[in-house]
Structure 1
Amino acid sequence: MTILPAENTFLSQIIDDWPHRACVQSVVKLMMDQGYSAKSIRSTIRTITAFIEWMKDHHYGNPTQLTYDDPDRFTEYRAAKGILLHGELRSLQRLGAALVEAGVVFPSPDLLEPFDDVNGKFEADLRRRGYASTTTSAHLRYSRQFLRASWIDGSGISHLHYDDIRDYLAGHLERHTAATSKVISSRLRVFLQFCWSAGVTELDLAQAVPMVKNHRLSSLPSFMSADQLGRVLASCDRATVAGRRDFAILLLLSRLGLRASEVALLSLDDIDWHAGLVRVHGKGGRVAAMPLPQDVGAAIADYIVDGRPTSGSRIIFHRVETPCTPFSTATPVILIARRALKRAGVTGLRSHHAHIFRHTFATMAIRSGVSLTELAQVLRHKEPDTTRIYAKLDTEGLRSLARPWLGANL
């Protein structure tokens, strides 16, 4: 690991004898990779050094064993003395994250939930069954919410009956749409099935979770016109780094019909510049090679050459502002799409989500004569029926199927 000379000297002089020095070095390395200035890195090191000296001076417990409370005690001490500086809390949070990752920080008992053991076993079961990390996190969010509402010390959730599950859902589903209610019910059912098989509950409570109907093909997908899409793309100021990045992202959404997560996690290794192909990592771990249009490739190359920060990550798209971290979730792409729609003044759509670009791509493809079978392949739909909704947007094709009105000659 390479550390700036000044920072390395500072570390050696102050914390050579601290057993967790490697954690401080990892914080420095991470900040360097994320594009922080030398001034910010020095400030972080000084804060961490002050924390370590405070731990030694106050002899709190074993100075080699830390708890989550220790940084809070330190900041309270600094605040009481009137010497707490801006940014010190964030610096200690970085150190805390490194200590947790190294397995040398010990949680305070009051921060543990009584049901953490059950949720931890549920997480292990999901990972064993091959669930993706993002899907696992989503399941855990709903299981934790359910456990927090239902857990009773001493009996856990073993006391629950079918009526308790119905009452819980009745209080949670009434404020959600049919689509969200279906997701909540599905994830609760998976969790309760685990609880039954693991002996956490005495009854198979999953049987009490109703099937929520959500007729996916009952409405038309919202999409942009060609003029609206043109305005959205033109709204990107390509004279700036952010504009070049956003333009490349919006082209990937609109010209290839990619999902937000697929764009966010696109890697340099996924593009074959010579063959003109891009490898897309879709749902369920499925990988597909797609043609890379010339204008899309040019936009990506423009950002990489003149905008993408120096990074140890292979992920293409990064934050523009410090820390210049690579995208790790779909959220930045969703926000970029929303801002672009707002800048272009696109209104009248039922949704301003990034998925509107995928709907627009599919609609234009259908209206240009692409068959549903071909579109399903391009969109990489696992179930062909998912593509059927776009048939409703083929107005010319539907007009040819319409029977003449008998009253026309009356």
Structure 2
Amino acid sequence: MFKLHDELIAELSNLLTAQKYNSVVVANHRLYARAFLDYLAECDMQVETVTPVQVDQYLAYATQDFEAQYGRPPSARWHVLPRTSINKLLRLAQGKWPPATEIIEPETAYRQAICCEYEEWLRDERGLACATIAALMWEARNFLRWQFERGGAASLDKLSIVEIDLYMDLRAPGLRRKSLADVAERLRSVVRHLHRTGRIPTDLTPHIIGPMLYAYEGVPSTLDKSQIAAVLATTKKDGSPRGLRDFAILQLLATYGLRAGEICRLRLEDVNWRRESLRIRHTKNDAYSYMPLLAPVGEALLDYLRQGRPLVESREIFVRSCAPYIAMTNLYGMISGRLAAAGVEPPGKRGPHVFRHARAVEMLRASVPQKIIGDVLGHRSTESTNAYLKLATEDLRAVALDVPALEVLS
């Protein structure tokens, strides 16, 4: 057993080293993994048969041991690193970790079958984007779980608008009107599928009504030129690998107004250095467009690729700045952090879209035709571009007419 444990520790160390983890982090993972294996040996348990319950039992034991050794309880997040080390170790030992939950109750199996069928219909029949399917599936799972817990699988036959209202009341707290309208739209899709497949006898979709929304009622957050310049200047001062990466991302956002997903999916082969062009895959319609590779963007990309990007096999340009070095999937935290560092506080949201909005306003003020603005932003229709017209509020004020004064009759 001890030889097998030594082999697992060596395999874990090699894996973390190959993933470019810092040597100190590798040593910590080895330490926590070894302590867990020693515990298994004392309890005469095989690592190949360990269950999540037994891992929880070990962490409780380790917490008590920590308190006995140091005379105080560990911090609330102390267990994160040991659990991470154990998860990596068990993934090597068992092949898959955590193990798949066994379906015991027939109602659970029935609910999962409905979800699988619904997901297949959204993907194959409706051809929706992955992000849209993920949002619809989350609502479907949540609603079906809630309904089954209340009345079981048989309750679908008796589903009424009363249950729909109760579910909407459950989802409403803390949501804005737009978010609640999205919940109603997703719920209509789920209920429509249940009725279409004969699981609900009555079509309840006309009765699922969200809050009334008015076209262009809200003004999105945006940045002016001075704020964008401040963010770029502050970020450029950070010469670390993370700073080089973030500066290149901010240049792409400010120059082209790309979506976060389009930047995360940008690959090495999408940059044509000879022709000085950039290929963009739009996340919402999977179409491609080509942009000129402007000098500031090209220089920022080169600096990051040469001095900041880790040596990894991933083809995505932008990867995490710490191990494991995998492609980035979210930019919101990075953008909000860079805005705060530059002292820029836009009203409302502070994610990547504020740069997209700013780019749209800049083109509007330059009298760029609406169709071209939509093409640059990757919109399918002009209706999507219309939402940006309300951002040019100062321009609208310049052409506003004075309200005529009322004449007072003597």
**Length-normalised TM-score, structure 2:** 0.79
Tell me the equivalent position of 1:319.
320
Report % sequence identity: 26
CA contact (8 A) 2:221 2:357 kept: yes
Q: Does 1:31 align with 2:31?
A: no
CA contact (8 A) 1:270 1:279 kept: yes
Change (3 A) 1:393 1:113: same
List aligned pairs for 1:88-99, cutoff 5 A.
Answer: 88-96=82-90
Change (3 A) 1:30 1:315: farther
CA–CA distance in structure 2, aligned partners of residues 134 and 385 of structure 1: 21
CA–CA distance in structure 2, aligned partners of residues 67 and 222 of structure 1: 48
Residue of 131, 138, 156 corresponding to 2:135: 138
Matched residue of 1:278: which SS? strand
Structure 2: unaligned runs, 5 residues or longer: 406-410
Tell me the equivalent position of 1:303.
304
CA contact (8 A) 2:253 2:355 kept: yes
Residue of 115, 119, 122 corresponding to 2:118: 122
List aligned pairs for 1:148-187, cutoff 5 A.
Answer: 148-152=145-149, 154-155=152-153, 157-158=155-156, 159-173=158-172, 175-187=174-186
Shift of 1:379: 0.8
Tell me the equivalent position of 2:214.
215
**More off after superposition, 63-72 vs 393-402:** 393-402
Change (3 A) 1:15 1:117: farther
Deviations 1:59-109 (A, max 9, x none): 66x864453323223333444555999732211123455678748935367
Structure 1: unaligned runs, 5 residues or longer: 1-10
> What is the one-letter code of the residue matched to 1:88?
P
List aligned pairs for 1:9-28, cutoff 5 A.
Answer: 13-15=3-5, 25=11
Tell me the equivalent position of 1:192.
191
Q: Number of aligned pairs?
A: 389
CA–CA distance in structure 2, aligned partners of residues 13 and 364 of structure 1: 66
CA–CA distance in structure 1, aligned partners of residues 92 and 136 of structure 2: 26
Tell me the equivalent position of 2:99.
105
CA contact (8 A) 1:373 1:384 kept: yes
Q: Does 1:289 align with 2:290?
A: yes
CA–CA distance in structure 2, aligned partners of residues 399 and 104 of structure 1: 59
**Length-normalised TM-score, structure 1:** 0.79
Tell me the equivalent position of 2:365.
367
CA contact (8 A) 2:90 2:97 kept: no
CA–CA distance in structure 2, aligned partners of residues 203 and 329 of structure 1: 41
Kindly report the root-mean-square deviation, in angstroms, between the aligned alpha carbons of the 2 structures. 3.8
CA contact (8 A) 1:47 1:91 kept: yes
CA–CA distance in structure 2, aligned partners of residues 203 and 397 of structure 1: 51
Q: Does 1:380 align with 2:378?
A: yes
**More off after superposition, 102-111 vs 283-292:** 102-111
Shift of 1:323: 2.2
CA contact (8 A) 2:222 2:357 kept: yes
CA–CA distance in structure 2, aligned partners of residues 348 and 45 of structure 1: 45
CA–CA distance in structure 2, aligned partners of residues 33 and 284 of structure 1: 36
CA contact (8 A) 1:69 1:108 kept: no
> What is the one-letter code of the residue matched to 1:136?
I
List aligned pairs for 1:236-315, cutoff 5 A.
Answer: 236=235, 237-282=237-282, 283-315=284-316
Tell me the equivalent position of 2:408.
none
CA contact (8 A) 1:279 1:290 kept: yes
Tell me the equivalent position of 1:7.
none
CA–CA distance in structure 2, aligned partners of residues 113 and 49 of structure 1: 41
CA–CA distance in structure 2, aligned partners of residues 319 and 220 of structure 1: 32
